[in-house]
Amino acid sequence: MISEGNPSVIQASPGILQFCGARIALLEIESGYWSIRHQMDTMFGLRMSNAVLQQAGANAGASFAKPFSSEQADERSTGFQSYLQAYQEAGFGRFEIKLLEWPSGRSVIRAHDTFEAWMMLKHGQLLDEKEVCAYTTGVLTGFMIAISGRQDVVCLERHCQAQGADACEFDLIPVNQNQ
């Protein structure tokens, strides 16, 4: 057991941690992720880096959520809230659901100190680029796709702390409602 106070994190065997049933690896965000992000931005530019990180996040979010997804429509809202709580507990930021509609999957998530915005601010990089939190937008999309069963949901970052906003705000919407 890793933490007596958090039964969702267990040591399955030496060197293998399980978080809510998924195998995880602990990475030091500032040196590890920041280095990868910075090098990708330098080599490929912000647009390509964001596209790669968003797809990686979507894959990770869907992979994490899929084994726990319920076929029961009334459990989907609770499932999304649980995955968001797990993402928060894993240290990726503080998240609050402002709107959650079923079956459309439309939702608005407000976040403070997402790991991407925190990194950009810590390194003094205020970006004009709309999607600073590309990995997080991907994870939220992956969660929603796995839980709702819809393949037409996208996540847009409407506001970001790394751009001077009070909080990051993410809008999950069906593609046909993208405005």
Q: Is 24 helix (H, G, I), strand (E, B) or coil?
A: strand
pLDDT-flagged residues of the chain (< 70): 1-9, 15, 20-21, 23-27, 68-75, 126-130, 177-179
**pLDDT given at position 53:** 94
**pLDDT given at position 99:** 94
Question: Does the domain at residues 29-177 carry the CATH identifier 3.30.1380.20?
Answer: yes
pTM of the model as a whole: 0.84
What is the rounded CA–CA span in Å between residue 80 and residue 106? 12
Q: Where are the domains of the chain?
A: 29-177
**pLDDT given at position 1:** 37
Query: 16: which strand partners?
Result: 13
